[in-house]
Chains A and B, each alone.
Chain A
């Protein structure tokens, strides 16, 4: 069972959830109030939905051996544009206005993603640097859109995206689940997932077998930006405001962390959407846990750092080799000293 690649992320999540019960005994309680589901577990899903989306896009980018640092800025730009459109329209509560706003945000995300994709696939810039440009400039653009202010909107349909409920479940959770399922279908029921892994595993070999790597790579950056834009809509809708400075701040790091915890290798070549969802939930649960324990929330960063290092070390072939070497040599030493006992030979195996 421990061999299954979702085992470790799931185990960590379960351990974190159980740890919470020690502090809040009714942690697992889910009750229905006013026709909505309430409870800590629902909160984790609800507030984790944007992160799941961003991490979803990030997973595919990382599967091709790339990285997208610009998602945080895309979150901010998407939220800012949508809120600006709604606040300036004559009918902020109208469904048409909100759909146009969401469409506008997604359209801009398409453009931003294409810029990243173009830089990485056509110009050949390293992904970290190519997306760094948008990460730097994007915050400025978001500030420009909001004119440095926090735009607040009052719009029922818009509020539904991030803060509303649909059939007792938070709408954001439904939206995130739908996106995850759609992506899983697209990548695992068609050849797309395998092609992405192939490009990430060995770009040259992929090109030689006839895969259009450039187009695929550009595509994943566009997809990542669109996911980030939807997350941006959720975040700004949840608070009914757009904050160019703080919306989606550090979300790129959380997303990368979620992907890494989920067992997707940063070197590219294989990915696990289920792992990413678990990873995102681990991070959200960690944040919740820290709030419930009463540690200053800012120190979450220290825990995250420890988790990143631990996960990366476990993923590193060198580290594994050193560890197993040490274990093997230790076992050999042990069996040599007690070579009379044949039962000890089991240890070395």
Chain B
């Protein structure tokens, strides 16, 4: 095997491990549990995790650029809250609410990116403040959960798109897949996408090469904010309510999905499709635990933590070997 090929293979090791893990988990589940081996179980993974998928895709951009965004869960919660308040209390039409929420999310991300870039403050502390602010703003709207009875939202929540073989998906799942496709094109086939990778590889070099570091960095957080807001819209469809405690800990799930999907936490290396695999793995853990029945749901968090541990150590080992 020649050197380039082996290096390329090694870069894909985390991705291959994730794919293998996914297949193994699905096979073991299919053998162990009645009714597990069906296309609908796979489609349900997409339906139940559509919002996580969208948020994780946004997080992929940020982590690829060498940053981190801890505000995503809070922005999701704020989006559900704003949607619910506008629809229920002010009777806005759904077509006006959704663009506004998306604009708020993208705007919030843009501001955070601007602060990070302009004042050179660590991303994690800025997005932490963003997280506090967004959660706090939820409570200034309402401390209680607001449930949605608007017909536009309920019909979106109940809509199912039939597929051949008696299977179906929800519109949210389709939106999430479209986001994945858009992110794939943006990241792997545009100049801006290359800039994101360059920024994550080495900000210094990117600057010296004359790449638009400021625009790229701020853009990355704007994309993440937009994706969080869209995730919030999808979660609103899913939960039919707005609540300040929605999506607590979602930032961790999103980071876990990105890492399990083979994106390096130091930035510069990774794939959008890896993140999709990561989200599917997280979803499958939940499915297996619910099929098992006897295991309590908090095992999910423990298993996710353990997986994160394994993958991070794996990343370090491959990184060390590459340097050696």
Q: A125-B316, A301-B135, A302-B140 are in contact. Are A136 and B298 (CB under 8 A)?
A: no
Determine whether A300 belongs to the interface, using a CB cutoff of 8 Å to chain B: yes
Determine whether B265 belongs to the interface, using a CB cutoff of 8 Å to chain A: yes
Instruction: Please list the 10 inter-chain residue pairs (A to B) with the smallest Cβ-Cβ separation, ordered nearest first.
Output: A137-B305, A301-B136, A302-B136, A140-B301, A305-B132, A298-B139, A305-B133, A143-B298, A140-B302, A308-B129
Bound complex: CA A144 to CA B305 (Å): 14
Contacting pair A140 B122 (CB below 8 A): no
Contacting pair A298 B244 (CB below 8 A): yes
Q: A129-B265, A136-B301, A253-B128 are in contact. Are A124 and B316 (CB under 8 A)?
A: yes
Q: A126-B265, A133-B312 are in contact. Are A301 and B302 (CB under 8 A)?
A: no
Contacting pair B135 A319 (CB below 8 A): no
Determine whether A148 belongs to the interface, using a CB cutoff of 8 Å to chain B: yes
Q: Which of A184-192, A309-317, A332-340 contacts B (4 or more CB under 8 A)?
A: A309-317
Interface string of B98-139 (1 = CB under 8 A from A): 000000000000000001001111101110111111011101
Interface string of B184-218 (1 = CB under 8 A from A): 00000000000000000000000000000000000
Q: A253-B128, A296-B143, A319-B119 are in contact. Are A123 and B316 (CB under 8 A)?
A: yes
Contacting pair B301 A317 (CB below 8 A): no
Interface string of B286-324 (1 = CB under 8 A from A): 000000000010111110111011001100100010000
Contacting pair A136 B304 (CB below 8 A): yes
In the complex, what residues of A have CB within 8 A of residue B255's CB?
129, 132
In the complex, what residues of A have CB within 8 A of residue B122's CB?
266-267
Interface string of A317-346 (1 = CB under 8 A from B): 111000000000000000000000000000
Q: Smallest CB-CB separation from A136: which chain B residue?
A: B305
Contacting pair B129 A312 (CB below 8 A): yes
In the complex, what residues of A have CB within 8 A of residue B306's CB?
137
In the complex, what residues of A have CB within 8 A of residue B299's CB?
140, 144
In the complex, what residues of A have CB within 8 A of residue B143's CB?
296, 298
In the complex, what residues of B have CB within 8 A of residue A125's CB?
265, 312-313, 316
Determine whether B17 belongs to the interface, using a CB cutoff of 8 Å to chain A: no
Task: Give the shortest distance, in Å, between B241 (CB) and chain A (any CB).
Answer: 17
- How many A residues touch the partner, as a band? 35 or more
Bound complex: CA A119 to CA B305 (Å): 14
Q: A137-B301, A143-B298 are in contact. Are A302 and B137 (CB under 8 A)?
A: yes
Determine whether A299 belongs to the interface, using a CB cutoff of 8 Å to chain B: yes
Q: Smallest CB-CB separation from B301: which chain A residue?
A: A140
Task: Give the shortest distance, in Å, between B104 (CB) and chain A (any CB).
Answer: 16
Bound complex: CA A148 to CA B300 (Å): 13
Determine whether A46 belongs to the interface, using a CB cutoff of 8 Å to chain B: no
User: Which of A128, A134, A267 counts the most chain B CB atoms within 10 A?
Assistant: A128
Q: Which of B124, B252, B298 contacts A144 (CB 8 A)?
A: B298
Contacting pair B312 A256 (CB below 8 A): no
In the complex, what residues of A have CB within 8 A of residue B229's CB?
none
Contacting pair B312 A137 (CB below 8 A): no
In the complex, what residues of A have CB within 8 A of residue B137's CB?
302
Q: A299-B140, A301-B136, A312-B126 are in contact. Are A318 and B118 (CB under 8 A)?
A: yes
Contacting pair B305 A140 (CB below 8 A): yes
In the complex, what residues of B have CB within 8 A of residue A136's CB?
249, 252, 256, 301, 304-305, 308
Task: Give the shortest distance, in Å, between A338 (CB) and chain B (any CB).
Answer: 32
Interface string of B246-277 (1 = CB under 8 A from A): 00010010011001000001100000000000
23 pairs, CB–CB < 8 Å, chain A vs chain B: A123-B312, A123-B316, A126-B265, A129-B259, A129-B312, A133-B309, A134-B305, A137-B308, A137-B309, A140-B299, A140-B301, A140-B302, A144-B298, A147-B296, A253-B132, A267-B122, A301-B133, A301-B139, A303-B136, A309-B126, A312-B126, A313-B119, A318-B118
